[in-house]
Structure 1
């Protein structure tokens, strides 16, 4: 539903999702401020909180019937800052500044590719033909997931304490790789493509609860495991989408 702006103004419920989006943006920028002070754990935590809020704003907007074009544009701008610019600066301050020229180029690649991905997403909002979306898949790695994957060297460093993971050569190569994944055309799983069997529902709920507890008690090993699992699922996403394409081709030929 569009925001209903009449003589009495905009309904308060229409502002709630946009306020959540703006808060996510603030968390992203706060992560940069914390990184400048060398508070790496808190900086990563701020980006993770921004990701949680980003996952909530759209669902709350649909629940309150407060979707709007303004909200969609604000969400993309917030994502660009919180999951593109902020992670790029955090990675530069943490490691890449040891080689200012190439390191800055790698940081720029993450920020620019995030912006390009979001621009591509916005350009396709009204497109009639979106094969990946209609099948329940994303095109490329979403911005929040990309930010989480880009931080894998930091997770490893926090878990092991090994300074090798902070080498700018490793971080630079990894950052560019994640940037390319974000603008790729690879079909990746989205929430709508995941189906839980009825007899697995309680196990899934228990798993989510345990995951939440693990994030509170041992955040860095848990985030590392989640990121590695996401990467491992990319090939399965390719296979799943290939099956969907074959089914669609078969249905079209029969029709």
Structure 2
């Protein structure tokens, strides 16, 4: 086994911490401490967003780190959220509820396996156009939690009913493994005149997350779901533009 360079220890440590946060959410869900369980999943998502950036900053990218990151994501955003949702609502119909929980966790693993298998593939139409293929696993975990967010916000029991949570779980599982184009926020480039407004917007978002977290997360999840038809239409426009640009080249040949 090759030694792991010292500069890779920090990002790998953050990855392991994200894994632990995901598993900790299950521990609190077992005690029906739903807000704490959700908080740990959110922390796992934040840590997942930092480990790769820190690895690139320290020039500490390793194959070991990439594999560890995928394993962490499967547990923190696949297995742990599936357990939380099962304990929260799906266990009311144990036999069928467990099937939906398993389907979500399996789709998360399949998505990450597909991502790893395509890392070295040259032809990736979605990525080259600034889009992702399907819903990323951390985002999928956040979307899966939407019925819990809405219950905490509205105190309405309907969002905890099996006939609401089970189809929602199946939908998010499908979106993770689907081939639909979704927006990649890291590829967005703001014009110079919009940067200050974006900073103000981020600051406002942080204030809202601190003061009304579940309302804010609910709105973000709903907004993301609403953006999917827009991303599909945007990618279709990119495909048409590429096809139109390639036709003259083909005629010249």
Length-normalised TM-score, structure 1: 0.95
* Aligned partner of 1:126 among 117, 120, 124: 120
1:188 alignment partner, SS class: strand
* Aligned partner of 2:33 among 34, 39, 59: 39
**Alpha carbons 2:5, 2:60 under 8 Å: kept:** no
Task: Tell me, yes or no, if structure 1 residue 97 matches structure 2 residue 88.
Answer: no
Shift of the alpha carbon at 1:211? 0.5
2:120 alignment partner, SS class: coil
Task: Tell me, yes or no, if structure 1 residue 21 matches structure 2 residue 19.
Answer: no
* Aligned partner of 1:242 among 236, 243, 246: 236
Q: Name structure 2 gaps, 5 residues minimum.
A: none
Q: Distance in 2 between matches of 1:13 and 1:72?
A: 14
Aligned to 1:172: 166
Aligned to 1:158: 152
Moved over 6 A (4+): none
Deviates more, 1:68-77 or 1:11-20: 11-20
Aligned to 2:221: 227
Q: Distance in 2 between matches of 1:159 and 1:217?
A: 13
* Aligned partner of 1:86 among 66, 75, 80: 80
RMSD between superposed Cα atoms in Å: 1.1
**Alpha carbons 2:29, 2:84 under 8 Å: kept:** yes
Aligned to 1:197: 191
Task: Tell me, yes or no, if structure 1 residue 137 matches structure 2 residue 149.
Answer: no
Q: Deviations over 1:21-45 (max 9, x none)?
A: 1100000000000100111001001
Q: Distance in 2 between matches of 1:74 and 1:224?
A: 30
Shift of the alpha carbon at 1:205? 0.5
Q: Distance in 2 between matches of 1:56 and 1:211?
A: 18
Q: Deviations over 1:209-245 (max 9, x none)?
A: 1101111110000000000111111111111111211
Distance 1:246 1:103, change over 3 A: same
2:32 alignment partner, SS class: coil
Q: Distance in 2 between matches of 1:56 and 1:193?
A: 16
Shift of the alpha carbon at 1:10? 4.3
Q: Distance in 2 between matches of 1:189 and 1:53?
A: 21
Q: Distance in 2 between matches of 1:85 and 1:174?
A: 16
Q: Distance in 2 between matches of 1:211 and 1:192?
A: 17
Aligned residues: 248
Q: Name structure 1 gaps, 5 residues minimum.
A: none
Task: Tell me, yes or no, if structure 1 residue 30 matches structure 2 residue 20.
Answer: no
**Alpha carbons 1:17, 1:60 under 8 Å: kept:** yes
